[in-house]
Amino acid sequence: MIGAIQSLGRWGLGVFERLGRGIMFLVRVLLGLGNLVTRPVLIIRELYSVGVLSFLIILVSGLFVGMVLGLQGYVTLSRFGAESSLGVVVALSLVRELGPVVTALLFAGRAGSALTAEIGLMKATEQLSGMEMMAVDPIKRVVAPRFLAGFIAMPLLAAIFSAVGVYGGMFVGVGLLGVDSGSYWSQMQATVDLHNDILNGVIKSLVFGFVATWIAVYEGYDATPTSEGVSRATTRTVVNTALAVLGLDFILTALMFGNPR
Amino acid sequence: MNRRAIEIVVGLFVAAGFAALFVLAMQVSNLNQLNTSGGYHVTAFFQNIGGLKVGAPVTISGVTIGRVSSIWYNPRQYEAEVKMDIAPSQNYLPKDTSASIYTQGLLGEQYIALEPGGSLQNLKDGDVIHYTQSALVLEEIVGNLLARMTTK
The DSSP output letter for B30 is G
Q: Where are the alpha helices (DSSP H) in chain A?
A: 2-32, 40-47, 53-79, 86-92, 99-107, 113-124, 127-133, 138, 144-170, 181-191, 200-222, 227-257
* Rounded Cα distance, A107 and A113, in Å: 9
**C-alpha distance from B131 to closest chain A C-alpha (Å):** 27
**C-alpha distance from A188 to closest chain B C-alpha (Å):** 6
* Rounded Cα distance, A217 and A139, in Å: 10
Interface of chain A against chain B, CB under 8 Å? 41, 44-45, 47-48, 51-52, 55, 80-82, 91, 95, 152-153, 155-157, 159-160, 162-164, 166, 185, 188-194, 197-198, 202, 261
Stated length of chain B? 152
Degrees to nearest 5, angle at CA A104 with A98 and A109: 125
Q: Give pLDDT, residue B1.
A: 66
Annotate A132-147 with three-state secondary structure. HHCCCCHHHHHHHHHH
Residues on chain A touching B6 (C-beta within 8 angstroms)? 44-45, 48
Task: Decide if the complex's ipTM is over 0.85.
Answer: no
What would the pLDDT profile of B43-94 be if each residue is shown by its tens digit?
999 888 887 877 788 888 888 888 888 888 989 888 899 998 888 887 788 8
Q: Say if pTM beats, i.e. exceeds, 0.90.
A: no
The DSSP output letter for B134 is P
Please check the confidence at residue B36 and state whether its pLDDT lies above 90: no
Which range of A175-179, B23-27, B104-108 scores highest in mean pLDDT? It is A175-179
**Are A188 and B9 in contact (CB < 8 Å)?**
no
Q: Give pLDDT, residue A231.
A: 92
* Rounded Cα distance, A214 and A248, in Å: 14
Q: Give pLDDT, residue B35.
A: 60
How does strand B40-46 pair with strand B127-129? parallel
Q: Give pLDDT, residue B105.
A: 67
In one-letter notation, the amino acid at residue B150 is: T
